[in-house]
């Protein structure tokens, strides 16, 4: 009989759990993030015949769910979650190299966060829930995560979603996606930065009485159920590229809280045909500076045009350093670049002129990271990860390239009324909002 796949906290002070229990708990009791005790090995032959994302995802995720109550339902979870398209498009060659774009913005909220959020919701739907008690999904967002989580959990009677976003530091269209839901979704505009929002969520989990009273769980990429499904599109894309060209592409990943980057590195570590991994950062340079100096110095986040990446203290660095504890090993696994707002604008204009592609500011950061490579490196195979649709950022994109068509799903959300509550950047304010939201809720689990 195959041994169960178990997950440990990055801080080593929590019991080992199966995938389902780790997903339900979100953050480990010791404040750490759950990681596999040992990563599986997945030969490429194990994906023979798997073409669609749900097919690849089921085969990729199966060893991660061994011994878990969700294992027998993995196929239906993948089919439910990944019911929208993605695309790997090749760009015209330049500088002797081959560039492709992995489009992850065709989901209901036009951002890559839809993959993880919908998988998390589909998984939690199939976990047992305490009778009479709702699970409270806490999520801090720098832009796209909150909207995707709200959309994925909206209308599910067993769940209540509380979204914390930094007031005035997300784009107007992102804010609309965070605040248009009402019903079982509560949006909190925090007077602070994304890092304040993230800190408040972690502090809530650290308070045992609060965690138990509201059955707290997390929907940020600190939750295993968000990160594992993100690894599946790297599995799919690398297999697609390998089958077309017989080569391992590198991936250039717009990076903020490092969940997307960590997912790619897990996919590579288990055996998918992935080449070098380049972390593309905006002016928030905590990770690039760490790789350069070896000194970890989290800092207050800086507001940029690529707002979803404005993170000064990325949580998933704990997972990254667990995978590569030695600095030399980490430096061999990833590189990182820094891009300023002027370069973001420059690449939005340049890519439109070169091949008619309109990039969002975050994808433009990936384009600039590629431009910073040496001529020899640019001549290799690279996949730029396109994390969001440009229509989510009209204030930045349209003055540069003109009107951008709005996807129908996004257009529908923009027509809905907004609801949010402004709060201070403190645990006490969050505690009060949780209490007020619970008192206002009229439905319970099972209704």
CA separation (Å) from 211 to 29, 40, 316, 340, 356? 10, 32, 21, 39, 49
User: Are the C-beta atoms of 319 and 260 separated by less than 8 Å?
Assistant: no
pLDDT at 1: 57
pLDDT digits (tens, 9 = 90+) for 151-205: 999 999 999 999 999 999 888 888 998 999 878 999 999 999 988 998 999 899 8
What are the DSSP calls for 71-104, one per residue? GGGHHHHHHHH--S--EEEEPPPBTTBEEEEEE-
pLDDT at 131: 58
SS3 state of residue 161: strand
Helix pair angle (427-440, 194-206), 10° resolution = 70
Place of tokens 């980057």: 261
pTM: 0.91
Q: Where are the domains of the chain?
A: 85-110+225-406
The overall longest dimension of the chain from CA atoms, in Å, is 62
Residue numbers of the chain with a pLDDT score lower than 70: 1, 130-132, 441-447
Residue closest to 63 by CA, chosen among 48, 79, 47: 47
Place of tokens 């709005």: 406
| Cα distance between residue 412 and residue 406, in whole Å | 10
As given in the structure block, the two tokens for residue 82 are 């990944």
pLDDT at 174: 85
pLDDT at 75: 97
pLDDT at 254: 98
Q: Any idea what DSSP says for residue 363?
A: H
Burial state string for 391-400 with b = 16 or more CB within 10 A and e = fewer than 16 = bbbeebbeeb
Q: Dihedral of the CA atoms 87, 223, 72, 45 (nearest 10)? A: 50
Segment holding 336, helix H or strand E: strand 334-338
pLDDT at 444: 42
Determine whether domain 85-110+225-406 maps to CATH 3.40.50.880. no
CA separation (Å) from 355 to 93, 348, 359, 393? 11, 11, 11, 20
């Amino acid at each position: 009989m195959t041994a169960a796949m178990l997950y440990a906290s990055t801080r080593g002070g929590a019991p080992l759990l199966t995938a389902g229990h780790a997903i339900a708990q979100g953050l480990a009791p010791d404040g750490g993030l759950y990681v596999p005790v040992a990563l599986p090995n997945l030969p490429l032959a194990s994906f023979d015949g798997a073409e669609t994302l749900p097919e690849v995802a089921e085969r990729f995720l199966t060893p991660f769910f061994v011994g878990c109550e969700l294992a027998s339902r993995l196929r239906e979870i993948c089919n439910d979650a990944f019911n929208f398209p993605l695309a790997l498009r090749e760009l015209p060659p330049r500088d002797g190299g081959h560039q492709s774009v992995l489009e992850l913005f065709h989901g209901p909220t036009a951002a890559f966060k839809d993959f993880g959020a919908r998988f998390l919701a589909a998984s939690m739907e199939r976990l047992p829930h305490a009778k009479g008690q709702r699970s409270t999904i806490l999520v801090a967002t720098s832009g796209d995560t909150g909207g995707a989580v709200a959309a994925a959990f909206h209308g599910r009677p067993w769940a209540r979603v509380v979204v914390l976003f930094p007031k005035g530091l997300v784009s107007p269209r992102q804010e609309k996606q965070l605040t248009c839901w009402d019903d079982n979704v509560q949006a909190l505009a925090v007077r602070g930065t994304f890092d304040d929002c993230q800190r408040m969520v972690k502090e809530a989990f650290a308070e045992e009485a609060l965690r138990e009273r509201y059955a707290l769980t997390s929907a940020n990429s600190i939750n295993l159920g968000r990160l594992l499904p993100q690894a599946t599109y790297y599995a799919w894309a690398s297999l697609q590229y390998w089958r077309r060209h017989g080569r391992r592409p590198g991936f250039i990943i717009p990076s903020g809280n490092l969940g997307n980057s960590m997912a790619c590195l897990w996919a590579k570590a288990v055996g998918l045909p992935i080449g070098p991994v380049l972390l593309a950062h905006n002016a928030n340079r905590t990770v690039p500076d760490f790789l350069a100096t070896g000194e970890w110095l989290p800092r207050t986040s800086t507001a940029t045009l690529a707002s979803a990446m404005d993170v000064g203290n990325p949580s998933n660095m704990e997972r990254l350093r667990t995978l590569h504890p030695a600095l030399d090993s980490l430096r061999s696994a990833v590189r990182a670049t820094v891009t300023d707002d002027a370069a973001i604008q420059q690449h939005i204009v340049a890519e439109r002129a070169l091949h008619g592609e309109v990039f969002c500011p975050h994808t433009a950061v990936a384009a600039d990271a590629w431009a910073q490579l040496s001529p020899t490196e640019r001549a290799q195979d690279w996949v730029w990860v396109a994390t969001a649709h440009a229509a989510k950022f009209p204030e930045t994109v349209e003055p540069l390239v003109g009107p951008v068509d709005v996807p129908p799903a996004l257009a529908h959300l923009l027509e809905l009324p907004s609801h949010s509550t402004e709060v201070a950047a403190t645990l006490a304010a969050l505690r009060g909002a949780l209490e007020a939201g619970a008192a206002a809720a009229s439905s319970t689990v099972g209704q």
